[in-house]
């Protein structure tokens, strides 16, 4: 998937404010259903890192 590599490389320009991204190898289109533990871990780590009011 060379088009995917180009899209990922363009993230800084196409997704301003993006702080991170993660690719889960071997995962299909329904990432949150196929790998719920990994998705939940990544989301809770991201939420915990957000500044508090």
The pLDDT value recorded for residue 29 is: 87
pLDDT in tens, the chain (53 residues): 566 778 888 988 999 988 888 889 888 889 999 999 999 999 999 999 999 98
pTM of the prediction?
0.72
CA nearest to 31, candidates 15, 43, 19, 49: 43
Kindly report the number of other CB atoms within 10 A of residue 23's CB atom. 8
Q: How far apart are alpha carbons 34 and 32 in whole angstroms?
A: 6
């Amino acid at each position: 998937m060379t088009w995917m590599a180009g899209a990922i490389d363009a993230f800084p320009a196409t997704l301003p404010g993006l702080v991170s991204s993660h690719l889960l190898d071997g995962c299909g289109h329904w990432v949150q259903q196929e790998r719920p533990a990994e998705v939940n871990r990544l989301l809770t780590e991201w939420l915990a890192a957000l500044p508090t009011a």
